Amino acid sequence: MIKRIVEADNQAKALEEANQKAAEKEKQKIEEEAAAIYQKYMDEAKAEIGKNAAYLEKRFSRKLTDVSAKQESLLIKLKSDYEQNRDRWVDEIVDRVVG
């Protein structure tokens, strides 16, 4: 009878140990899957950020080109106005200062 109890106890311990090993394997499997899912989403997010960065870079470049063109146009107009009105402006400034 004692022998049976000891055998039953040993079997219970072996079963418990097997269950613990199985639980550890499942836990590790879940952690690995979670890490893989996390990495997948991080890779996708980085790819999306890369796409957005490229889009924003193109948009910025176009805006910079537009602003530069407008600035160049305004500079040409300002130079033209200066050439046309230089003498009148100088006379007007002198008149205001001298009185």
Tokens 């008149």 belong to which residue? 95
Whole-number pLDDT of residue 5: 82
**Residues spanned by the domain of 56:** 1-99
* Type of residue at 77: K
pLDDT along the chain (99 residues), means of 10: 83 90 95 96 94 93 96 96 93 89
Rounded to two decimals, the pTM is 0.50
Whole-number pLDDT of residue 12: 84
| Nearest-angstrom CA–CA distance, 62 and 69 | 11
Whole-number pLDDT of residue 9: 81
The distance in angstroms from the start CA to the end CA of the chain is 130
Whole-number pLDDT of residue 8: 82
Q: What are the CA-CA distances from residue 25 to residues 11, 15, 19, 32 (Å)?
A: 21, 15, 10, 10
Whole-number pLDDT of residue 27: 95
Domain count, the chain: 1
> Which value, to the nearest 10 degrees, does the dihedral of the CA atoms of residues 34, 39, 45, 49 take?
160
